[in-house]
Amino acid sequence: MRRRYMDAIALVQHFGKPDIFLTMTCNPCWPEIQEHLQPMEEVQNRPDLVSRVFRAKVEELKTNIQKTNIFGKIAAFMYTIEFQKRGLPHAHFLIILMDGYKLLTPQSYDKIVCAELPDPHIDHHLHKLVTKHMIHGPCGYLNPSNSCMQKEGKCKFKYPKQLTEQTTKGKNLYPLYKRPKIITPIKVRGHNIDNSWIVPYNPFLLKKFGCHINVEICSDIKVIKYIYKYICKGHDKIAFFVHNNDTNVEIDEIKEY
Ligand SMILES: [Zn+2]
């Protein structure tokens, strides 16, 4: 584990601070999973199928990041895939953009990350996807027993987030994304939800993958320590790669799940 942290640090020393942090979680309702289940068979009993499909989705996402350059040209990126004992596999990506593509202003953040409910009259499909995959909890005063709640009665992911009319750089790990007040909150899992509960997403990727896919701008180098915490949580299996456009270096890999 120590070595992976060092790999991440070496990458940053060589290519600079990461610009984007992305987390994708497997969706057990993906048709590629559902159509291969036997009648009465349950997803949790087919980890082989789940990991195969998830792996394919991660490959597709890598293509979007590295070849299609959806965020701009990439200097390097690294990712981990985690298979927890309970819960669904998920992947974390750290992406470093090339000079000239760096995200330097709140306007450039807004082009990549969105943290508000879309207008259902303008984009009904996206609205449905956000309410299905990108609502945190809720926790806190709406639901004090949610799993993210810590002893002090605070959400470990710091939800609900501050409502704000525009994106600003913020003081912590991530910027403050635009989360305007909405007139009529929507009902999700029995609670009234406004923009303070939206997990930041990229509309294109959310539509393409139809799963929980959190995209954040890294405004601070501390993100590396944050990733390190993820890596060291003690998961069953982990794959960790470091890539760049020229050499496609793989520092560490577990090819077979
Ligand atoms: Zn929470």
CB within 8 A of 108, min separation 6: which ones? none
Higher pLDDT, 233 or 204: 204
Let me know whether 97 and 191 are in one domain.
no
Query: Does residue 189 sit in the same domain as residue 217?
Result: no
Residue 251 has pLDDT above 60, yes or no: no
- Write the CATH number for 22: 3.30.70
197 CA → ligand 1 middle, Å: 9
What is the whole-number distance in angstroms between the Cα of residue 248 and the centre of ligand 1?
A: 37
Same structural domain, 129 and 98:
no
Q: Band the pLDDT of 226: cuts 50, 70, 90.
A: low
Q: Find the 156 Cα to ligand 1 centroid distance in Å.
A: 6
Same domain assignment for residues 107 and 26? yes
Mean pLDDT for 24-43 is 93
> What's residue 210's pLDDT?
97
Helix (H) or strand (E) holding 230: helix 223-231
pLDDT at 94 over 70: yes
* pLDDT for res 196: 95
- Residue 201: CB atoms within 10 A of its CB come to 25
Q: Where are the alpha helices (DSSP H) in 82-153?
A: 106-112, 124-133
Instruction: State the pLDDT confidence band at 253, using cuts at 50, 70 and 90.
Output: very low
**pLDDT value of position 249:** 43
Q: How far apart are CA 52 and CA 200, in angstroms?
A: 27
Tell me the residue type at 251: I
Task: Select from 154, 182, 198 the last residue of a domain.
Answer: 198
End-to-end CA distance of the chain: 18
Among 94-98, 191-195, 209-213, 221-225, name the most confident range: 209-213
Percent of the chain past pLDDT 70, that is, above it, reads 79
Please check whether residues 97 and 6 belong to one and the same domain: yes
The 10s digit of each residue's pLDDT in 117-133 is 999 999 999 999 999 99
CA of 113 to the centre of ligand 1 (A): 20
Same-domain pairing of 71 and 26: yes
Cα 209 vs. chain centroid, distance in angstroms? 12
Residue 225 Cα to ligand 1 midpoint, Å, equals: 21
Count of CB atoms situated within 10 Å of the CB of 113 = 23
For residues 9 and 225, the answer to whether their CB atoms sit within 8 Å is no
- My answer on whether 231 and 194 are in the same domain is no
Q: What is the pLDDT of residue 13?
A: 75
Q: How many domains does the chain fold into? A: 2
| Model confidence pLDDT, tens digit, residues 42-82 | 888 898 899 999 999 999 999 999 889 999 999 988 888 88
Contact 159, 139 (CB under 8 A): yes
**Can you tell me which residue has the tokens 């995209």?**
215
Q: Are 116 and 179 in contact (CB under 8 A)?
A: yes
Residue that is last in its domain, among 198, 229, 245: 198
Question: Residues lining ligand 1 (ion), CB within 5 A?
Answer: 137, 139, 148, 155, 159
**What residues make up the domain containing 18?**
1-113+201-257
Please check whether residues 123 and 173 belong to one and the same domain: yes
Q: Taking 80 as the threshold, does the pLDDT of residue 245 lie above it?
A: no
Could you tell me what percent of the chain has a pLDDT over 90? 50
Residue 125 phi, psi dihedral angles, 5° rounding: -65, -45
Helical ranges in 16-97 per DSSP H:
31-34, 47-66
Cα 157 to chain centroid distance, Å, stands at: 13
